[in-house]
Structure 1
Amino acid sequence: MSPFPPRRSSRATPALALCAGLGLAVAGGTLVACGADDPDAGTNGVGKLAAPEIQRKYKAAANAAGAVHISGTLVSKGASYKLDMRLKNNGGTGEVSTKGRTFRLLRVGERMYLKADAQFWRGDGKNDSAAARKLSGMYVRVPTDDPAYDRLSGFTDKKTLLDGVLTLHGKLDKGKRARNSGVRTVELTGDGGAGGILDVSLEGRPYPLELERAGNAGTVRLAEWNKEFRLAEPSADDRVDYGAKLPNS
């Protein structure tokens, strides 16, 4: 069925004829029919879909992406975490802040490192100050069997972190059209917004761009999808292997 109204005469104006021709040329593709009243003109077409289908599209796009930059605040089990992480399928790097402490994480494959200042390594003050000074500013390898590995590796795991933050609770609905950092978006809501609000891009791939998490559990921004960045283990001069267990595990 043509998306354009029937012609009132057998002679179409040049502009209308061109518009109709374009509409036929892109039918079934990512573009939509032209027309000043069409909110989906020039978009990826996701805005026309039902909310569950939009969710399927943005999850597929996110999972297929080779890289992403995740920043913002997460609240989990009463603790608040400020994140600034760049992630790939084989690891990630960036900073995490919680309870007044900031540390840097770097994971390449299974090898994960933690970098922090002496105050972080002193913890509650019971740890050796000399050892804390030695570890300060160094990438300290986190053994895979150390309890800290399980607690921290999720921040460096693209799939785990995306699965955790891209969650809407309750009945899924499609909300308003807007712009996020200049990009046209469509809003998805869970439980009318109480279960979270997610902006999905209407330009290019339907990537998720920003999520207000349910229950005031933080706001997360997702950007630089598929943007390449360097991910490599620290040099031998910048890293140290503390042993089988970290001081603050």
Structure 2
Amino acid sequence: MTAIPPGRSRRTALVTASCALAVTGAMVLLGCGGDDPDAGTNGVGKLPAAKIQAKTRAAADAASAVRLSGTVVTSGRTYRLDMQLKADGGTGSVTSEGATFKLLRIGRELYLKADADFWNHADGTPADGSDGTTGKLDGKYVKVPQGDPAYKKFSGFTDKDVLLDGLLTLHGTLATEGHHAEAGTRTIRITGDEGSGGTLDVSLQGTPYPLRLVRAGHAGTLVFSDWGKNFTVREPARSDTVDYGKQLPTS
């Protein structure tokens, strides 16, 4: 075997060590990803804001169910919502001006449940039930006639497509506003007119669902969760239901 000159051996060792350090350095840089905030995500954070909005709307429309909670301000009135929604129904609670009522929709059948104070506020009759009306409605599900103004007013709160179409809209020029987090989930935030037209946080993990919406003009903030998580809506028992008649009192 031919002997390797000592000088050459040292040079070879130095070159090998240098290459190892160079490879290690590259691996460190690649491992950090240059602190790439989109590393390991669904990739929507790298898209233009308009494409992110299109993808999150498509994801929301395709989802079988969703839960939303928060506030919506409309016509000068603030509604606090906690609703579960899917294509064929919805259930949850709505609070407005100190009165809380429950809504339940199965197909086209809409039920409303509230206490006497709500009905008193709606039609001005005594909350103690002395008129024979509000006392009967207190704490019972009332089937809302489809021709009644209250049906149109309240059914939208239980309709996934109608509610999301009205809410998931940013106004003005769209732009991205950095990476954030919502309930532990990494998000990309898109804005309308630098935030004055609303902001929307979109999930960077899995399906790009909308997770948090701040509406334009201080019109409320909503959090979305349980995307695609099914739930059951059942018609209330007859003992828990009252037939008010052809028209309900409205607030």
What TM-score do the two structures reach when normalised by structure 1?
Answer: 0.85
Would you say 1:54 and 2:56 are equivalent positions?
A: no
Look up the match of 1:106: 104
Shift of 1:242: 1.5
Shift of 1:154: 0.5
Higher helix share: 2
Shift of 1:13: 4.6
Q: Which residues of structure 1 form unaligned runs of 5+?
A: 1-8, 21-32
Q: 2:136 touches 2:242 (CA, 8 Å); kept in 1?
A: no
Alignment root-mean-square deviation, CA: 2.4
Q: 1:165 touches 1:220 (CA, 8 Å); kept in 2?
A: no
Q: Distance in 1 between matches of 2:24 and 2:73?
A: 57
Q: Distance in 1 between matches of 2:197 and 2:217?
A: 7
Shift of 1:16: 6.7
Q: State the structure with bigger RCO (CA 8 A, min sep 6), 1 or 2.
A: 2
Q: Which residues of structure 2 form unaligned runs of 5+?
A: 1-18
Look up the match of 1:155: 157
Would you say 1:126 and 2:125 are equivalent positions?
A: yes
Q: Distance in 2 between matches of 1:239 and 1:100?
A: 24
Look up the match of 1:64: 62
Find the residue that maps to 2:81 and give its secondary structure: strand
Bigger mean CA offset, 35-44 vs 208-217: 35-44
What TM-score do the two structures reach when normalised by structure 2?
Answer: 0.84
Number of residue equivalences: 229
Shift of 1:65: 0.4
Kindly provide the amino acid, as one letter, of the partner of residue 141 in structure 2: Y
Would you say 1:246 and 2:248 are equivalent positions?
A: yes
Q: Distance in 2 between matches of 1:172 and 1:43?
A: 22
Would you say 1:38 and 2:57 are equivalent positions?
A: no
- 1:94-145: per-residue Cα shift (whole Å, max 9, x none)? 1111122111000010000000001112235336642211111111000000
Q: Percent identity between the aligned chains?
A: 56
Shift of 1:230: 1.4
Q: Which is higher, the Rg of structure 1 or of structure 2?
A: 2
Would you say 1:116 and 2:109 are equivalent positions?
A: no
Look up the match of 1:225: 227
Q: Distance in 2 between matches of 1:42 and 1:241?
A: 55
Equivalent in 197, 200, 224 of residue 199 of structure 2: 197
Look up the match of 1:4: none
Kindly provide the amino acid, as one letter, of the partner of residue 148 in structure 2: D
Q: Distance in 2 between matches of 1:210 and 1:125?
A: 37
